[in-house]
Amino acid sequence: MENSLLAEKMIKEKGIAIVSVDKAGYAFDAGIRVGDKLISINGHKISDPIDYKFYQADEILKINISRDDEVKEFIIEKKEDEDIGLELSPMRIRRCPNKCIFCFVDQMPEDCRESLYIKDEDYRFSFLYGSYLTLTNLTKKDKERIFEQRLSPLYISVHTTDNDLRREMLGNKKAPDIIKEIEELTQHRIYLHTQIVLCPGINDEDYLKKSINDLKRFYPFVSSIAVVPVGQTRHRVNKLRPVDKNYAKRAIEGLSKIKKEIKRELGEDILFIADEFYIKAGMDFPEIDEYADFPQLENGVGLVPLFLSEFNEALSKINNPPSPPFSKVGKGGNKKIFTITGASFAPYLNECTAKLKRDGFDIDVVTVKNNLLGESVTVAGLLSGKDILSALRKYDKGIVLIPSVALREAGDRFLDNMTPDELRRKTRMEIKIVGSDACGLIDSVFN
């Protein structure tokens, strides 16, 4: 009777759909198939792919799945930490409860990719993909899970440690005390990468200094603090003061002093200034070793200096190859090459292509103006297909290299839903999607 009640309870739990089973894996050998629903592993309910990864680490697994309204049990023996070969249906994203004064999602125009309108606030995605959290919707149960499964590091949007100002910036009067939240996480040895979106006249000056000083107290568990400038599209209703050249210079000067003080105190670089400040100020980037291990690269911190460093290193190896001799495939080819980028990176990419031209390549940078979001948005990752098409209209033949960052992760759609195939048809040019780093450019050109 007890077993039948347990089975009935398990069926009600439904489980998570299994969308793929590796035919060379343990699960397939045991008899688990696509369409089954994973309910539990060793008595632990599986609520998402993170649970699956965590609880399948043991050597002996008792797995319950639901199939045709029946619960089936499978026993798998394997090596510790070895994957059994299941892929589960994707997680549903938790939505953000805030109405931040600088929210980029709220500035998006109509008819863009559907995912661009999703305001996420999900600790699981922070752990898996490095998306930023404000810690405004964590429940006690969420925290218990984070501590038990060691979901670390997490990426935290702080903006300011002054709680009154923070609640105002987040548009959330119920936002918890950010320092208490960070203190609880770090006491449980959860590592954090933090960011401050700097809004001129709002969370700068004394607020900024206080925030950085408050956060550095939690080192080494607060592993990095990134300061990034607020971004605005032309669709923003309530305009914020922009970060201009003079402001960027002052910000770099002030933050650089604090950075040096922290380095002297802690012996480590943990404060990082976003590339966009240096681009707007027209100032040289710091030395590459000042970025430590690039903990916030995806946040636009160190992307440009790393690209330039890796480009020069890769080109040097090609031009001064070890034995046997390296053959420059494609050198002197008769096809014109165009490489696409936004306005902010164009000067640096021009530096790189000038070196490739000296190597015999016919390559030009096409700087794409962002008409969709506005000229203040200058990064390649926010270019639309239509704007790229507009920039290419004056050309009629050649190979066009588009950085993969301009498309969604699947590589099939630009910001405005245009596909690479549509762009190919409309330009009648050879469109190649290439890696966004220096190696992606070098490999594409030489091969």
- HEC letters along 321-351: CCCCCCCCCCCCCCCCEEEEECCCCHHHHHH
Average pLDDT value for residue range 364-376 = 92
Please report which confidence band the pLDDT of residue 4 belongs to, taking 50, 70 and 90 as the band edges: very low
Q: What is the mean pLDDT of the segment spanning 364-391?
A: 92
Q: What pLDDT shows up at residue 86?
A: 96
Secondary element (H or E) of residue 431: strand 430-434
Contacts of residue 178, Cβ cutoff 8 Å, sequence gap at least 6: 135, 158, 161, 163, 166
Asked if pLDDT for residue 183 goes beyond 50, the answer is yes
pLDDT tens profile 255-280: 999 999 999 999 999 999 999 999 99
Confidence of residue 11 (pLDDT cuts 50, 70, 90): very low
Kindly tell me the burial class for residue 12, based on how many C-beta atoms sit within 10 Å of its own C-beta (0-12, 13-18, 19 or more): exposed
Task: Give the tens place of pLDDT for each residue, 84-122.
Answer: 999 999 888 888 888 888 887 777 777 777 766 677 899
Q: For the chain, give the percent of residues with pLDDT over 70.
A: 92
Structure confidence at residue 441 as a pLDDT band (50, 70, 90):
very high
Tokens for 183?
């203190």
Tell me the sheet residues that pair with 403.
Answer: 434
Give the model's pLDDT for residue 209.
97
pLDDT digits (tens, 9 = 90+) for 39-89: 999 999 999 999 999 999 999 999 999 999 899 999 999 998 899 999 999
Query: Does an H or E element contain 312, and which?
Result: helix 303-319
Note the pLDDT of residue 447.
Answer: 76
Give the per-residue pLDDT at 109: 74
**What are 278-284's contacts with CB under 8 Å, separation 24+?**
278/248, 278/252, 278/304, 279/304, 279/344, 280/229, 280/243, 280/244, 280/245, 280/248, 281/245, 281/248, 281/249, 281/252, 282/245, 283/248, 283/249, 283/252
Give the pLDDT confidence of 301-324 residue by residue, as tens digits. Answer: 999 999 999 999 998 888 775 544
H or E element: which one contains 251?
Answer: helix 245-266
Predicted pLDDT of residue 6: 45
Residues 6+ apart with CB under 8 A from 242: 200, 230, 232, 376
Q: Which residues contact 430 (CB under 8 A, 6 or more apart)?
A: 335, 398, 399, 400, 424
Closest CA to 18 of 85, 111, 114, 104: 85
At residue 233, the pLDDT reads 76
Q: For residue range 132-180, list pLDDT tens digits in order.
A: 999 999 999 999 999 999 999 999 999 999 999 999 999 999 999 999 9
For residue 438 the two structure tokens come to 């220096």
- What pLDDT is attached to residue 254? 97
Assign 3-class secondary structure to 162-179. CHHHHHHHHCCCCCCCHH
Which is more confidently placed, 102 or 241? 241
Give the pLDDT score at 396: 83
Please name which of 69, 85, 75 lies closest in space to residue 34, comparing C-alpha atoms: 85
| Amino acid 144: pLDDT | 96
Residue 386 tokens, joined: 């239509």
Average pLDDT over residues 204-212: 97
Residue 76: predicted pLDDT: 96
Share of the chain above pLDDT 90, in %: 73
Alpha-carbon distance of 247 to 329, in angstroms, equals 46
